[in-house]
Amino acid sequence: MRTPSSKNRRLLQGNEAIVEGALTAGCRFFAGYPITPASEISEMLSVRLPQVNGTFIQMEDEIASMGAVIGASLAGIKSMTATSGPGFSLLQENLGFACIAEVPCVVVDVMRGGPSTGLPTNPSQGDVMQARWGTHGDHPIIVLAVSTVLDCFDITVQAFNLSEAYRVPVIILSDEMVAHTRETVALPPVDRVEIIDRVSPSMPSEWYVPYEGNSRGVPTMAAFGEGYRHHVTGLVHDVRGFPTQRADEIQAFISRLFQKITQGFYEIQITKSFMMDDAEVAVIAYGSVARSARRAMSDAREQGIKAGLLQLITLFPFPRRSVESVLRQCRAVLVPEMNMGQISREVKRVNHFACQVEKYNRIDGELIRPDEISGKLAKL
Amino acid sequence: MTKEVTKLIHKYLRHDKKFPHVWCPGCGNGIVLGALIRAIDRLGLEKDEIVLASGIGCSGRMPVYVDFNTLHTTHGRALTFATGIKLAKPSLTVITLMGDGDATAIGGNHFIHAARRNLDLTAIIINNQIYGMTGGQHSPTTPYGCYATTATYGHIEHAFSIAELAVTAGAAFVARGTVYHARLLDELIEAGIRKPGFSVVEAMSNCHVQFGRRNQIEDPVTMMKWLRDHAVATEKARKMKPDALEDKFTIGVLADLEKPIYTDEYQKVRDRAKSLARQ
């Protein structure tokens, strides 16, 4: 954790830190629709974006917000929207467009209890699988989870960087608890933050092949109006961007979409380990639950339990390597979640070892407390 | 004349790429595309400055044929993508192209809000009163009593009048033409693109394959004649009694208002935001 220097110390809530992260990353367009518990992000960006020649617009719904975000990104501007469960469901259609047309953009889902209107003011982690598979069809996507206010800043910057580097939508999963927790954080000076921008073409326009991947499988991206006239479509397309029904071209296209992410696993799959070196039992957690788990670790250690924590920042592509090494090392793993076990199922999927995987779930709109986790650990 | 047409084809169509097109022989979509190209040519706009965005359906395939910055979005959402593009780069001329189901059923909410918001966009809506590509299901503009594959026993709903809807929603410029009145359509599209603010041009068109076939008007020529006989110029309609207009529709300019443009207003927001931040 960064040591707060007095100069940069600020009292922020999670939603505010996402705003700071987005602006630092170069986000200059936001379209959104009011929804609890994400509204502060819209409100703050409506103040901040016009100050930096950016644009904020409140659209008629989340479908429209996602459309506008994609449009602005196609015109060359880094763009974002933020919502919660019901709005996240609505924007899934256009999120799929961003996947197939490879339009960089960031979507923040501040999770609240569901399904439907559910529990608008309570935290939950019920949207994990929707973040991965919410839009129809086979598609790669990157899903990151924030756990603290400082995370909200750092991971939002990372979300934009990954989105620009891989031309893929990136989803940030926050929850009501992280969003509304206020804490003092030290944000890094803007010039100390690494910012990645999409690669634009430099060749003569007649040489430009808009959907031809480079060595990493990522095509260069020309903004509308820069002289590289091309076609962008939600239909499966050939390298020139035109619709195709040729099986060989379809196969090559969808494969490249996946391969560009697979090739980047080392960079994309982010996890953090706490006290894992000599751990015999471990917790695998993410989001606000990971914060409880960190406290639970020190409590468990005091009780003489050799416990460690693997915090997942990247939920998808599922950080299999890090999880497997924990499963290999430990005799038992606990996966606490504020849902019915969406990530524990993923952990079990990759458990080819003699490790006992237990889940612990709360779906009552309450945060999982450290003592609940350490209590469960003691019984493993 | 032929030479002129050939010149336009060479200048604006991606003729070596995606032809032959997907439209049925006799379809009105080609007439609308021709009108759009002629309007753009007369306006002298650079191809790099134009973004043509469409939704889904037969009309949605139009952008792929023309050499602009082209975008084929999701069903009903063309205006939302166009909104993002225009806000990100106001110097671009952004034109959306939609069908009747696209613009007023699945995209109806976006349509009325775009009209209210008043970005400098041009929305061309091809109204053939049916879902053509999916096989002839009834749309929000299918007339009462007509037949469709989902109205086998006769349609019991009532149709939207798209242009009038746009007027009520506050669009700065609203016009209606038909694919029969081709020269008028050229002029209306040109006026729509030229007009600062949100412009709507409804182009009444024929779908003899999916609409006509089930409603005893099976060929394009009969449908064109129907358009000719039921269209009344707006100036003439003003002098006519309401019952004489009962089965007619008006063509020409329905609204032409001066309203503040969103991007101009937003620039003022930026100026206010910056001066307040300095204080």
Residue of A nearest to B86 (CA): A72
Q: What DSSP state is assigned to residue B244?
A: G
Contact flag A51-B270 (C-beta cutoff 8 Å):
yes
> Taking each helix axis from N to C terminus, what angle separates A62-74 and A85-100, rounded to the nearest 10 degrees?
30
**Tens of pLDDT, residues B45-67:** 999 999 999 999 999 999 999 99
DSSP class per residue in A202-246:
-S-GGG--TT---TTS----PPTTSS---EEESS-B-TTS-B---
Of A67, A105, A106, A205, nearest to B96 by C-alpha is: A67
Residue A228 lies in a domain: no
Does one domain contain both A33 and A144?
yes
Best residue of A232, A237, A238, A244 to probe chain B, by most B CBs closer than 10 Å: A232
Residue A186 lies in a domain: yes
A104 min Cα distance to partner chain B (Å): 14
Does one domain contain both A71 and A179?
yes
Does one domain contain both A32 and A128?
yes
Of A154, A181, A169, A185, nearest to A18 by C-alpha is: A154
Number of domains present in the structure of chain A: 2
Residue of B nearest to A231 (CA): B70
Residue A253 lies in a domain: no
Does one domain contain both A187 and A275?
no
Residue A227 lies in a domain: no
Per-residue pLDDT of chain A (380 residues; tens, 9 = 90+): 455 556 679 999 999 999 999 999 999 999 999 999 999 999 999 999 999 999 999 999 999 999 999 999 999 999 999 999 999 999 999 999 999 999 999 999 999 999 999 999 999 999 999 999 999 999 999 999 999 999 999 999 999 999 999 999 999 999 999 999 999 999 999 899 999 999 999 999 999 999 999 999 999 999 999 999 999 999 999 999 999 999 999 999 999 999 999 999 999 999 999 999 999 999 999 999 999 999 999 999 999 999 999 999 999 999 999 999 999 999 999 999 999 999 999 999 999 999 999 999 999 999 999 999 999 999 99
Does one domain contain both A166 and A275?
no
Decide if A318 touches B, using CB distance below 8 A: no
Print the domain residue range for A370: 271-379
- Contacts of residue A224 in chain B, CB cutoff 8 Å? 51, 69, 71, 85, 89, 92
Whether B142 and B151 have beta carbons less than 8 Å apart is answered as yes
Residue A91 lies in a domain: yes
Best residue of A44, A106, A233 to probe chain B, by most B CBs closer than 10 Å: A233
Does one domain contain both A149 and A278?
no
Task: Single out the residue in A192, A208, A242 at which a domain terminates.
Answer: A192
Of B269, B257, B253, B273, nearest to B118 by C-alpha is: B257
Decide if A199 touches B, using CB distance below 8 A: no
Residue A217 lies in a domain: no
A154 min Cα distance to partner chain B (Å): 25
Q: Which residue has the tokens 């225009």?
A: B86
Task: Single out the residue in A192, A209, A240 at which a domain terminates.
Answer: A192
Round the CA-based radius of gyration of chain A to a whole number and report it: 21
Contacts of residue A117, defined as CB under 8 A and 6 or more positions apart, other chains included, come to A86
Q: How far is CA A209 from CA A234, A241, A251, in A?
A: 17, 8, 18
Q: Which of A69, A225, A240 sits opposite B89 (nearest CB)?
A: A225
CATH number at A319 reads 3.40.50.920
Q: Which of A51, A59, A231 sits opposite B64 (nearest CB)?
A: A231
Sorted by where each starts, the structural domains of chain B and their CATH numbers stand as: 2-278 (3.40.50.970)
Does one domain contain both A33 and A121?
yes
**Tens of pLDDT, residues B258-274:** 999 999 999 999 999 99
Contact flag B89-A94 (C-beta cutoff 8 Å):
no
SS3 state of residue A119: strand
Q: Which pLDDT does position B92 carry in this prediction?
A: 98
Does one domain contain both A186 and A284?
no
CATH number at A172 reads 3.40.50.970
Decide if A51 touches B, using CB distance below 8 A: yes
Whether B42 and B56 have beta carbons less than 8 Å apart is answered as no
In the structure encoding, which two tokens stand for residue A77, read together?
């501007």
Decide if A67 touches B, using CB distance below 8 A: yes
Q: Is the pLDDT of residue B4 over 90?
A: no
Q: Which of A53, A71, A232 sits opposite B82 (nearest CB)?
A: A71
Contacts of residue A23, defined as CB under 8 A and 6 or more positions apart, other chains included, come to A48, A49, A52, A54
Number of CB pairs, chain A paired with chain B, less than 8 A apart: 142
Q: Which pLDDT does position B6 carry in this prediction?
A: 86
Contact flag A51-B277 (C-beta cutoff 8 Å):
yes
Whether B169 and B254 have beta carbons less than 8 Å apart is answered as no
Residue A331 lies in a domain: yes
Task: Single out the residue in A151, A174, A192 at which a domain terminates.
Answer: A192
Contact flag A64-B68 (C-beta cutoff 8 Å):
no
Q: Which pLDDT does position B279 carry in this prediction?
A: 81
- Say what the ipTM of the complex is: 0.97
Residue A40 lies in a domain: yes
Whole-number Å distance between alpha carbons of A308 and A86: 35
Q: Which of B63, B71, B110 sits opposite A60 (nearest CB)?
A: B110
- Contacts of residue A79 in chain B, CB cutoff 8 Å? 84, 88
Contact flag B84-A94 (C-beta cutoff 8 Å):
no
Q: Which pLDDT does position A8 carry in this prediction?
A: 77
